[in-house]
Chains A and B, each alone.
Chain A
Amino acid sequence: MLSADEAADLIEAIASRQDRAAFANLFRHFAPRVKAFIMRGGTDAEAAQEVAQETLIMVWRKAASFDRSRASAATWIYTIARNKRIDLLRRSARPIDTEDWLVVYAPEEEDAGKSVLAGQTYTRVKELLEGLPKDQLVVIQKAFFEDKTHTVIADEMKLPLGTVKSRIRLALRRLRQALEKDES
């Protein structure tokens, strides 16, 4: 296992001295996990591996833009993997470099003190996901794993749209409570 701090250290080592050993460590930890995550949505192993590979290459290129005070390594890598999935699997006709969220949404004063998203986030979010009622968890998982909108999820699960919306809102309320608990 790689702790959140260790993972952030590795990204910073890439940024400051193009550290290949740090990249190899990061790759060993995250590439197989990104691949597994992408495969959950039904993507075949080969395409998922390509997404994982391209995600980690992007981590190398953009390492200097990583800001450990705003996001954990896993969170940042998730956003890169999500964008790579969009570029490689959905937009094959017209690949574009989707923007990096840490850069586009540079923090403003209003955000100061709100970034509890690094450090212990993983443990708290994991606890939250484990504690969610099954019907809420399924909707959240389908969105992330299968890259589907809530409308499509409602359709597939043969649920009224309002039911899916209220499950999402309940899950988000719990998420907010879990993440803001330690802030005060």
Chain B
Amino acid sequence: MSRHPAPEELLLDYAAGALSDGRALALALHVALAPASRQTVDQLNAVGGALIEGEPEALLDDAALERALARVGKVMVEPRAVPAARHPGFDWAPPPLVPHLRPGMGWRRILGQFDEIRLDVPGDAYRVSLLRLEPGHGLPEHKHPGYEYTVCLQGGYTDATGNYGVGDFAVGPGGERHEPIADPGEPCISLIVVEKPIVLTGPWGRWLNPLVSRGII
């Protein structure tokens, strides 16, 4: 049971197909791991279905069916699909993440404190990353000028707003300072989508922020 579900308005944005790719990935991962949110999305999809069913028919040009029949004459019905296989070394990755993983992708140590894999996701997010924190370790104290979306994929972490476990979703409002610490046990792995470069607020922030804003760290 997810103790921190995504806000319902974001589940609606997701079910309506309105989210940019980075945020859609965050919601897809949350929904894959949180049954209650999955049920809400199922219900919203049913609303989509009812809206389509309730549409008056738009005129379709007469040849449309003929063209479609000609096309399906050349297309095989595919065998029943199965969820994407787990990616070697990424056993914890839920199915929606798998298409974003590439062979040879590896963790990169940042500021000597945590590991990061940046994902190549098109859209308007500034950065879409996987972060890994060793138990008891934290991220440097920082704040976000824009929104930040976090989904916990392995282990757990605690910050001023609460304790987060696998499947939990957090929306960090802009400007809030926070310092998450990984819980004891296995390393904490999360997907983070940030809209704008983060700002470090700790003692080294003054020196490091220019590097952060240039995407070097």
Contact = CB atoms under 8 A, between A and B. Distances in A.
Contact of B18 (A24, A28, A70, A143): A143
B81 interface: yes
A36 B12 contact: no
Contacts of A63: 77
Nearest to B53: A74
Interface string B54-78: 1111111100110111011101111
B199 interface: no
A105 B31 contact: yes
Contacts of A71: 42, 45-46, 49
Dominant secondary structure of chain B at its interface with chain A? helix
B103 interface: no
A75 B32 CA distance: 18
B77 A172 contact: no
Nearest to B11: A172
A165 to B, nearest CB: 5
A10 interface: no
B81 A103 contact: yes
Contact of B60 (A23, A52, A94): A52
A54 to B, nearest CB: 10
* Residues of B in contact with A, size category: 35 or more
Given A20-B69, A78-B45, A121-B50, A32 B17 contact: no
Interface string A20-39: 10011001101111111101
Interface residues of A, number: 85
B19 interface: yes
Interface string A66-100: 00001111111111011101100001011000011
A15 B77 contact: yes
Interface string B27-52: 01001100100111111111111111
Given A75-B49, A103-B83, A94 B122 contact: yes
B97 to A, nearest CB: 10
Interface of A: 14-15, 18, 20, 23-24, 27-28, 30-37, 39-40, 45, 48-49, 52-53, 56-57, 60-65, 70-79, 81-83, 85-86, 91, 93-94, 99-101, 103-106, 108, 110-111, 114-115, 117, 121-122, 125-126, 129, 140-141, 143-145, 147-150, 152, 164-165, 168-169, 172, 175-176, 179
